[in-house]
Structure 1
């Protein structure tokens, strides 16, 4: 079910004496239906646990969007002056496919209105819904759009399984591209050698996936990370950027289904975000696997809010 934005969730401090430059997100955000079509960003919640449950993970991610909004409210307004809330797509029980379809519809609607959709999960099953919305939007405008999927993640999420889950979305996207006759461009940054089976590495090779291991993504290797990313960006016209929070070290992001034993430091994650958001090709972004029930001191929610705000600011939406 798609629920309209509950604006009572947007709260934060008010620095009245600071005037216009003292504003925070909770003071400028509007429900999507009241927003003008002049660019800007639209946030979409995907309150869903079904994909994680099917993938035998630790559930709780359906509370992610609410937790994120409660932290985002206090974000200071900088360049982004137009912010809309498109409400929540809520997955009831195990109705994952219906929820993904609904999310795709909301994403396509936001894109049609000339805004940058930023979706907030939920588990990484969000990715198939997000991509489907972008595909629907671009299919009406181009024959075979060159979409690059950039995933910051410890896992490939290319699993074969009887049913869709949080572990299958990029295989589903690959199959969808194949069915449409579109190229499949997928780049994963932060892969853990010890978090993916041999079968997954082989499938990634067969699909022509670009990836970098977590241990190769340290600060001293930033030039190599940037070069890999630049090379990938040059091959595509549109970017869907997805961040699985389990790419971060467990101390930074404890509130995820599968915390990283190593992870990629923020010193590398943030330059990646800046490069993707500043590329002029970003059409859609989302954040997956925020699980507030496992979070400590809202650490994961706070770091997610920071990264989300960073995308919003750097994309100039």
Structure 2
């Protein structure tokens, strides 16, 4: 498929298969699998006065996902890319939400490839569209250095979770928002006050060291037991700049990869993960594709854990 290519090992069979050899276009009636959907957009980053370039993220992520090994027989689909080319972020988010909802309706585990973190409100709208009249308890789990709860004249990459929480409140939807990796040096007092007023659960980056990891996992698993569905969002700028340099806003500290991976896997292993997206990979700023490479690794681990949980 377009955008997918890579190494082919011999013998060419299931034991040597890589994602680029396994991916297919989704078709009506196809069995549930992992379905990627791109959101080529950084209009939200531009509005938020960040460094643009995340619109190239979906292509870069596909290139790095291509050589991942297929470790099970779960189908893999590429549902294409929704692009924002005219500055109309809101229309692009609606198109993405519609496409995402269709994937969820078909039983797929949806994987969003951003794009700026404005993908998050589009992902939330897609999940709400999929749920329809149902009212499960939903947790939005965000690994991020930032709350993204800004109040701005226009929606941007800094507003998606405030938009989601306000939409949920207006429609009486039981939605919780949890943020892991928040930086005290990257969020104003007003943002912390907003988070507190909205009942947001957050854990700072300096509370996510290796020594604290066992307790953080126990706390996270207890919270996961109290919800029905999970939307997981990974802003790659939550990782240290040395690990993820190619982002709009590099982290001065960040969450170590050896902590981030178990946290993300715990979410996926809950068996409640409906969708995951990755945001803020900015290829023009990404030396040696380091950021796209680590994002691909995390998606590989999350999707496998999610399917193992679904299989019981």
Q: Return the alpha-carbon distance in structure 2 between the equivalents of residues 81 and 74 of structure 1.
A: 16
Match of 1:137 in 2: 130
Instruction: Write the mapping of 1:29-68 to structure 2, written as runs, cut at 5 A.
Output: 29-33=23-27, 36-68=29-61
Match of 1:210 in 2: 201
Q: 2:15 is matched with which residue: 21, 43, 46? A: 21
Q: Return the alpha-carbon distance in structure 1 between the equivalents of residues 18 and 226 of structure 2.
A: 37
Match status 1:172 vs 2:163: yes
Runs of 4+ in 1 over 4 A off after TM superposition: none
Structure 1 residue runs of 5 or longer lacking an equivalent are 1-6
Contact 1:37 1:115 in 2 (8 A): no
Instruction: Write the mapping of 1:218-297 to structure 2, written as runs, cut at 5 A.
Output: 218-297=209-288
Deviation at 1:263, TM superposition (A): 0.2
Structure 2 residue runs of 5 or longer lacking an equivalent are none
Contact 2:152 2:159 in 1 (8 A): yes
Deviation at 1:39, TM superposition (A): 1.4
Deviations 1:128-174 (A, max 9, x none): 0001000111124x1x2211000000000000011100000000001
Contact 1:153 1:189 in 2 (8 A): yes
Relative to the length of structure 1, the TM-score reads 0.95
Q: Return the alpha-carbon distance in structure 1 between the equivalents of residues 51 and 36 of structure 2.
A: 25
Deviations 1:286-308 (A, max 9, x none): 00000000001110010001001
Contact 1:187 1:232 in 2 (8 A): no
Aligned residues: 308
Give SS of 2:77's match: strand
Q: Return the alpha-carbon distance in structure 1 between the equivalents of residues 20 and 222 of structure 2.
A: 38
Deviation at 1:31, TM superposition (A): 1.1
Deviations 1:212-259 (A, max 9, x none): 000010111002211221232122100000000000000000000000
Match status 1:93 vs 2:81: no
Give SS of 2:11's match: helix
Q: Return the alpha-carbon distance in structure 2 between the equivalents of residues 148 and 300 of structure 1.
A: 26
Give SS of 1:315's match: helix
Would the alpha carbon gap of residues 309 and 80 (structure 1) be closer, same or farther in structure 2, given more than 3 Å must change?
farther
Give SS of 2:128's match: helix
Would the alpha carbon gap of residues 139 and 188 (structure 1) be closer, same or farther in structure 2, given more than 3 Å must change?
same
Match status 1:298 vs 2:289: yes
Q: Return the alpha-carbon distance in structure 2 between the equivalents of residues 234 and 81 of structure 1.
A: 26
Would the alpha carbon gap of residues 36 and 266 (structure 1) be closer, same or farther in structure 2, given more than 3 Å must change?
farther
Q: Return the alpha-carbon distance in structure 1 between the equivalents of residues 73 and 150 of structure 2.
A: 37
Match of 1:113 in 2: 106
Give the aligned CA root-mean-square deviation in angstroms. Answer: 1.1
Deviation at 1:38, TM superposition (A): 1.7
Q: Return the alpha-carbon distance in structure 2 between the equivalents of residues 80 and 45 of structure 1.
A: 23
Q: 2:74 is matched with which residue: 71, 78, 81? A: 81
Q: Return the alpha-carbon distance in structure 2 between the equivalents of residues 67 and 130 of structure 1.
A: 20
Match of 2:96 in 1: 103
Give SS of 1:88's match: strand
Contact 2:18 2:66 in 1 (8 A): yes
Q: Return the alpha-carbon distance in structure 1 between the equivalents of residues 34 and 20 of structure 2.
A: 14
Match of 2:65 in 1: 72
Deviations 1:19-38 (A, max 9, x none): 321110111100123x7532
Deviation at 1:18, TM superposition (A): 5.1
